[in-house]
């Protein structure tokens, strides 16, 4: 299940990343590459590498600016921890404003279907690869929002500032369909960051990466490598779940953790732990996905959370009470809030309880103002947890909205996910990546 491009919506956050390199990719010493992130609203190699700062945007996704090819061509790619293969639009269409032109790159090389890359390293693709009439490795990537892209695998040089990664495998896509063509036209492609062998982070050879997204002043950080900063407190860790046996509904290369419970304020939802455990088909895994904006829970858990949140906010928030108003097709708990109000009233925090750690969702992260939706002098705000069942998704998905102002570390070396609450705008300043 690939949720990377899922949940595209009108609000697009653009994270422009300024790269400041502490060391060369070719260095054998572990070091870091740190990038500045800025968000603004618009419509809608096997050698160990050092940590790197990379630039990325986000529109419900995070995006990165890098160069590809020789001579280099500037591209903008959606950063997606829920996808494996990175890909670029390589054929101009009426909806493609930005593309990569392979004919202008002397380092571009298509991947033949007889190659080991095509035959063995694509095993985790949801749609098996095939051979095109020229005997090139052909791939079709489909996403949960019914969009898809199609083209051939190829290799080329990807570069961040003066550091380059030659021979990186990616998808050279020449066709596709999109449920949000206007938004997709703003980017050149997608950069896959999951645990698959062809993901960007796997091919780069980094065993750790982190990001910190600010919800305050649109700044943030993306770091490849270890985060050894004195101002960053100890991280809370939960193990990444591995599944060796292929199951029909379990994504083996996703960043999967074990959700064990949820509480609202001090009230733990009265649910058995078994509802959070994947079943014999693999349905019910919990994934951390930067390509999804909000958090989605399976039906019974969502209903229990919704009922408890309504109970604890009675007299504090006014329900919209319009059964047909369902934001993004899965978020049906919405409220009326006066447009004149500067801040939301105090709300009970929701804590996601994982093995060994908790992630708190509090304050303004609990409600999202629906753009352009009003009722008289009121705006409409929706609860930022949705119902996976309404989307036909057999999984729990932790989106990036609930990761704001949290330093999130993906530690592949020790197979764990860590986090600590931090002001991400201040983290940018401390790292010399401020405005």
Q: Is residue 3 part of a domain?
A: no
* Residue 266 bears catalytic tag: no
Q: What is the mean pLDDT of residues 68-96?
A: 86
pLDDT tens digits along 307-328? 999 999 999 999 999 999 999 8
- Structural tokens at position 186: 């703003």
At 146-175, the pLDDT tens digits run: 678 899 999 999 987 666 889 999 999 987
Domain contains 2:
no
Same domain? For 171 and 114 the reply is yes
pLDDT band of residue 337 (cuts 50, 70, 90) is very high
Residues 125 and 174 in one domain: yes
Whether residue 171 sits in one domain with residue 76: yes
Is 20 part of any domain? Answer: no
Whole-angstrom Cα distance, residue 139 to residue 128?
A: 7
- pLDDT for position 185: 62
Does 169 or 22 have the greater pLDDT score?
169
- Band (pLDDT 50/70/90 cuts) for residue 130 is very high
Whether residue 134 is found in the same domain as residue 247: no
Judge whether 212 lies within some domain: no
Q: Model confidence at 244, in pLDDT bands (50, 70, 90)?
A: confident
Report, as an integer, the average pLDDT of 243-258: 90
What pLDDT does residue 181 have? 53
What number is the average pLDDT over the span 188-206? Answer: 90
Does residue 179 share a domain with residue 50?
yes
Statement to judge: residues 190 and 273 lie in one domain = no
Is residue 23 in some structural domain? no
**Whether the predicted pLDDT of 50 surpasses 60:** no
Q: Determine the pLDDT at residue 48.
A: 24
Which region among 113-117, 191-195, 301-305, 357-361 has the lowest average model confidence (pLDDT)?
Answer: 191-195
Asked if residue 337 and residue 405 are part of one domain, the reply reads yes
- The CATH code of the domain that includes 381 is 2.40.70.10
Q: Is 309 within 8 Å of 350 (Cβ atoms)?
A: yes
- The tokens for 313 are 């906010």
* Length, in residues, of the chain: 435
Q: What are phi and psi of 134, to 5 degrees?
A: -95, 15
Dihedrals phi, psi of 213, to nearest 5 degrees: -110, 125
Domain-embedded: residue 18: no
Does residue 228 carry a pLDDT above 90? Answer: no
pTM of the model: 0.82
Tell me if 235 sits within 8 A of 418, measured CB to CB. yes
What is the pLDDT at residue 359? 96
Per-residue pLDDT at 29: 33
- 72, 148: one domain: yes
Cα angle, residue 65 at apex, residues 63 and 69 outer, rounded to 5°:
130
Catalytic site includes residue 289: yes
Which pLDDT does position 290 carry in this prediction? 82
Mean pLDDT, residues 250-260 taken together? 94
Task: Please tell me whether residues 89 and 155 are part of one structural domain.
Answer: yes
> Residues 80, 124, 184, 411: which is the catalytic one?
80
Instruction: Write down the pLDDT at residue 216.
Output: 58
Within this chain, do residues 133 and 255 fall inside the same structural domain, yes or no?
Answer: no
Average pLDDT, the chain: 82
Chain segment 380-429, per-residue pLDDT in tens: 999 999 999 988 889 999 988 899 899 999 999 999 999 999 988 888 77
- Residue 183: pLDDT above 60? no
Catalytic residue among 2, 156, 289, 332: 289
Q: 187: pLDDT confidence band, cut at 50, 70 and 90? A: confident
Q: What is the mean pLDDT of residues 41-70?
A: 47
**For the chain, what is the domain count?**
2
Let me know whether 252 and 353 are in one domain.
Answer: yes
Q: What percent of the chain has pLDDT over 70?
A: 79
Domain limits for position 173: 33-206
pLDDT value for 124: 84
Burial class (CB in 10 A: 0-12, 13-18, 19+), 266: exposed
Residue 234: per-residue pLDDT: 93
For residues 328 and 370, state if they share a domain: yes
Say what the pLDDT of residue 222 is.
81
Query: CA separation (Å) from 314 to 23, 135, 335, 348?
Result: 54, 63, 11, 11
Residue 196's pLDDT band (cuts 50, 70, 90):
very high
At residue 428, φ and ψ (nearest 5 deg) are -60, -45
For residues 177 and 33, the model is more confident at 33
User: Which of 206, 224, 246 marks a domain boundary?
Assistant: 206
CA distance 138 to 116: 14
Q: Is residue 17 part of a domain?
A: no
Q: Specify if 43 maps to a domain.
A: yes
């Amino acid at each position: 299940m690939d949720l990377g491009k899922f949940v595209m919506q009108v609000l697009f956050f653009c994270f422009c990343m300024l790269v400041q390199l502490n060391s060369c990719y070719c260095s054998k010493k572990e070091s870091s590459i740190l990038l500045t992130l800025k968000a603004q609203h618009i419509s809608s190699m096997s050698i160990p590498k050092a940590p790197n700062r990379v630039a990325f945007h986000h529109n419900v996704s995070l995006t990165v600016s890098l160069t590809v090819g020789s001579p280099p061509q500037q591209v903008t790619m959606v950063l997606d921890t829920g996808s494996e293969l990175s890909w670029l639009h390589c054929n101009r269409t009426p909806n493609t404003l930005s593309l990569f032109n392979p004919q202008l790159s002397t380092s571009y090389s298509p991947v033949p279907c007889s190659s080991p890359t095509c035959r063995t390293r694509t095993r985790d693709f949801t749609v098996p690869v095939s051979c095109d009439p020229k005997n090139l490795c052909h791939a079709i990537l489909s996403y949960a929002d019914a969009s898809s892209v199609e083209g051939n695998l190829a290799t080329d040089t990807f570069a961040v500032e003066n550091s380059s990664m030659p021979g990186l495998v990616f998808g050279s896509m020449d066709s596709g369909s999109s449920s949000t063509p206007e938004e997709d036209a703003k980017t050149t492609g997608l950069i896959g960051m999951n645990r698959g062998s062809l993901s960007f982070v796997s091919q780069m050879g980094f065993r750790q990466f982190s990001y910190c997204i600010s919800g305050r002043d649109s700044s943030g950080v993306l770091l490849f490598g270890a985060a050894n900063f004195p101002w960053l407190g100890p991280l809370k860790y939960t193990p990444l779940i591995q599944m060796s046996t292929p199951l029909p509904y379990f994504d083996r290369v996703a960043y999967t953790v074990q959700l064990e419970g949820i509480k609202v304020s001090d009230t733990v939802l009265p649910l058995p732990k078994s509802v959070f455990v994947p079943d014999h088909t693999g349905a019910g895994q919990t994934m951390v996905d930067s390509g999804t904006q909000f958090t989605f829970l399976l039906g019974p858990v969502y209903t229990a959370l919704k009922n408890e949140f309504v109970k604890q906010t009675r007299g504090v928030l006014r329900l919209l009470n319009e059964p047909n108003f369902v934001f993004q097709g899965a978020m049906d708990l919405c409220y009326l809030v006066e447009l004149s109000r500067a801040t939301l009233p105090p709300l009970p925090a929701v804590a996601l309880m994982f093995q060994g750690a908790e992630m708190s969702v509090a304050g303004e992260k609990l409600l999202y103002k629906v753009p352009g939706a009003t009722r008289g002098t009121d705006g409409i705000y929706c609860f930022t947890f949705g119902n996976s069942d309404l989307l036909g998704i057999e999984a729990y998905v932790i989106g990036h909205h609930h990761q704001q102002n949290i330093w999130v570390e993906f530690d592949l070396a020790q197979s764990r996910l860590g986090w600590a609450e931090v002001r991400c705008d201040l983290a940018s300043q401390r790292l010399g990546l401020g405005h």
